[in-house]
Amino acid sequence: MKKISIACLFLIFSGGGILVGSYFIKTTQTYEKQGRTFAYRGGDKENGKRQAQLRGCSLGCHGKNSEGAPYDGFAAPNLTGLFKDYSAEAIESVLRQGIRADGTALYKMPSSTFQYITDQDLSDLIAYYRSIPRLKDAVTYRKISLTKMMQISIGDIQPVVVGATNQKRYNRPAYDEQGNMTGHYIAHSICAECHGQTLEDGFAPSLRIVTTYQLTDLTKLLTLGEAPEGRPTDLMKYMGAVHYPAFKQQEMTNLFEYLNMELFLETHE
Ligand code: HEC
């Protein structure tokens, strides 16, 4: 009996050791940056604030005022501090590529959509966060729950290293001549976070449904969070009512036209 319990203890400790070891190896593994070069050139704080609202930096995963918040077993850090502590290049790499300045990877940052944010919008975001007061950290930076540590160690949760950008999408204009975001830019750099890279392959339903919409239906969804025919909304209710009132009317029109006329004629790759 005693021998069995010693053997059990041995197995538990060695198993735990392997998990801790592989967690350590995985989280200290470093990656090469592959994105575009980025130089901060000063920015427009007002647009930065609007981008923070539209992209969910504020009022979302990082807490109401970007002070940081627990997020699915991870800690979404305090952006009112991080944007001041990190260099502009380090911010670019974390947001667009999911890699920290020391080369280690992030696990939850939605860099697959942030990879498309333009240099100017990114500069505006930096200008905004550097202009507002630093709030007290609401979470401990890099804190990860035990369950998530185990999932990382067995490869169940993968780093979000995005690598080179998809040039085809990036090369299309992000703003129209009147200074409004294009439908293409909004769809792929904002909505794609939940609706998927092709806008049909995310955890949220396919955006093909917008081909059954009138413009007023989309406007209602993006300002009140209400779907046509009384269909229930939950997360989309929050996005529509809290984040997307920051869209301009013309931007909703651009998005509507893109989702109706162009998107499903393109081949998605
Ligand atoms: C944070 C995740 C998230 C983001 C970002 C997001 N959505 Fe959604 N969306 C959802 C979810 C989840 C649903 C399914 C309904 C629900 O649970 O609220 C949904 C549903 C929808 C629907 C279907 C509503 C219906 O039943 O007719 C449309 C259209 C839509 N979203 C458009 C958009 C557009 C356009 C954007 C970008 C401006 C966007 N969504 C961004 C999560 C998201």
Span 248-269, pLDDT tens digits: 999 999 999 999 877 666 554 4
Instruction: Note the pTM of the prediction, 2 decimals.
Output: 0.92
pLDDT at residue 85 is higher than 80:
yes
Taking alpha carbons only, the member of 172, 168, 167, 149 closest to residue 75 is 149
Compute CA distances 140 → 15, 158, 210, 241, whole Å: 28, 21, 41, 30
Look at the block and give the residue holding tokens 């100017």: 120
Task: Report, as an integer, the average pLDDT of 101-118.
Answer: 93
What is the average pLDDT score of the chain? Answer: 90
The per-residue pLDDT for range 10-57, each reduced to its tens digit, is 777 777 788 888 888 888 889 988 777 888 989 999 999 999 999 999
Q: Tokens standing for 7?
A: 């053997």
- Which of 194, 229, 252 to mutate for ligand 1's pocket (most ligand atoms within 8 Å of CB)? 194
* Contact criterion met (CB below 8 Å) for 27 and 111: no
Q: What H or E segment, with its residue span, contains residue 90?
A: helix 88-92
Backbone angles phi, psi at 63, to 5 degrees: 95, 165
Instruction: Please give the number of the atom of ligand 1 that sits closest to the Cα of 233.
Output: 18
Per-residue pLDDT, 167: 61
Q: Which residues pair with 69 in a beta bridge?
A: 76
| pLDDT, tens only, 186-214 | 999 999 999 998 899 999 999 999 999 99
Question: Which residue among 236, 248, 256, 258 has the greatest number of ligand 1 atoms within 8 angstroms of its CB, and so is best to mutate?
Answer: 236
